[in-house]
C-alpha cells in the first residue's frame, strides 16, 4: 500500500493557485504514475501537493496535458468525461468514502458512497452531497473558459482545492485531522471522452474502477514547522 505523509500547518492560507507558494514548502510532491492499460495515446503528467490543518484538507494539482476538454459547468455533472482530476477520501475506519472530482475549469462532482457495488444507477448505496456542501469546497483553476470541443493544449494547468473538515463531518461523523491520524485516499487523473482517453492513479487500481476502497493508499498526517 502506498503511503504519503501530509504535513499539518497551523493556518489555512486560502486558495491562491500558486504551486510554488511558500505554504507548500516541505510538502511532498505526489506523482500519479499508475496507468491503466485501457489508456491510449499521449498521457498527461500529473503531480499533487497536499497539506492539512484543523480546518480541512488543502491540495493543488499540476497537470501537463496535450489537449483539454471542459464541457460541464454545473456542479454534479459528469466531469470525469472532461479533463478531470480527483481525490477520494476515507478517514480511518468510517463507513463509506467521498469522491471529489474536478474538471479543469473547477466544476465539482461530489458524493458520499457507503456501498460501492455497481448498479445501473451508479452504486448500491450512495448519494450526492447537498448543494451547499459542494459550494463549501473551495476551488480555483488556471483555466477560466469552457471547452465544448477538445482542443490542443500542450502546457500546464493547475487546480487548487480546499475541503472543509466541517463539511466532511456532515457525512462521516466525528473525525479529526491530527498528528498520527491515517486516512485512506486515492488520487486520479482521467478523461473518458477525450480522443486519447486515460485513467491514471496514485495508488494502483486492479481494474478500470476508481471506486474500490481496497485499492486506496493512505495519507498520514505529520507535524510540520510550516506556519
Q: Is the distance from CB of 107 to CB of 210 less than 8 angstroms? A: no
Using an 8 Å Cβ cutoff, are 154 and 176 in contact? no
> What pLDDT, on the 0 to 100 scale, is given for residue 226?
52
Q: Is 81 helix (H, G, I), strand (E, B) or coil?
A: helix
Write down the pLDDT at residue 205.
99
Q: Which residues of the chain have pLDDT under 70?
A: 225-227
pLDDT of 224 = 73
Condensed to tens digits (0 to 9), the pLDDT of residues 74-100 reads 999 999 999 999 999 999 999 999 999
Give the per-residue pLDDT at 225: 55
Largest CA distance in the chain: 48
Half-sphere exposure of residue 214: CA atoms within 13 angstroms, side-chain side: 6
Q: Which domains does the chain have, with CATH numbers?
A: 3-222 (2.60.40.1190)
Question: From the CA atom positions of the chain, what is the Rg in Å?
Answer: 16
pLDDT at 213: 98
Q: Are 133 and 110 in contact (CB under 8 A)?
A: yes
What is the per-residue pLDDT for 83?
98
DSSP state of 38: T
Compute φ and ψ for 192, nearest 5 degrees.
Answer: -60, -35
Per-residue pLDDT at 13: 86
**42 φ, ψ (degrees, to nearest 5):** -65, 130
How far is the CA of 34 from the CAs of 1, 158, 186, 206, in angstroms?
13, 20, 11, 10
E strands along the chain, which residues?
A: 3-8, 29-32, 34-35, 45-53, 56-70, 84-91, 97-103, 108-119, 122-128, 138-141, 147-164, 182-190, 199-201, 217-222
What is the distance between the alpha carbons of residues 15 and 160, in angstroms, rounded to a whole number?
Answer: 6
Amino acid at each position: 500500500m502506498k503511503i504519503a505523509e501530509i504535513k499539518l500547518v497551523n493556518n489555512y492560507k486560502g486558495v491562491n493557485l500558486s504551486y510554488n507558494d511558500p505554504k507548500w514548502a516541505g510538502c511532498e510532491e505526489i506523482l500519479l504514475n499508475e496507468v491503466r492499460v485501457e489508456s491510449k495515446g499521449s498521457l498527461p503528467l500529473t503531480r499533487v501537493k497536499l497539506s492539512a490543518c484543523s480546518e480541512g484538507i488543502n491540495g493543488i494539482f499540476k497537470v501537463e496535458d496535450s489537449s483539454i476538454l471542459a464541457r460541464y459547468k454545473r456542479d454534479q455533472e459528469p466531469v470525469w468525461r472532461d479533463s478531470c482530476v480527483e481525490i477520494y477520501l476515507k478517514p480511518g475506519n468510517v463507513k463509506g468514502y467521498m469522491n471529489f472530482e474536478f474538471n479543469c475549469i473547477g466544476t465539482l462532482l461530489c458524493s458520499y458512497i457507503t456501498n460501492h457495488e455497481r448498479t445501473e444507477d451508479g452504486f448500491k448505496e450512495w448519494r450526492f452531497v447537498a448543494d451547499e456542501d459542494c459550494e463549501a469546497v473551495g476551488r480555483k483553476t488556471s483555466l477560466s473558459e469552457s471547452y465544448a470541443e477538445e482542443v490542443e493544449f500542450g502546457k500546464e494547468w493547475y487546480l487548487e482545492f480546499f475541503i472543509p473538515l466541517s463539511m466532511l463531518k456532515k457525512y462521516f461523523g466525528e473525525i479529526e485531522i491530527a498528528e498520527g491520524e491515517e486516512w485512506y485516499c486515492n488520487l486520479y487523473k482521467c478523461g473518458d471522452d477525450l480522443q486519447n482517453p486515460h485513467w491514471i492513479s496514485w495508488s494502483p487500481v486492479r481494474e478500470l474502477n476508481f471506486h474500490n476502497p481496497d485499492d486506496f493508499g493512505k495519507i498520514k498526517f505529520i507535524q510540520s514547522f510550516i506556519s
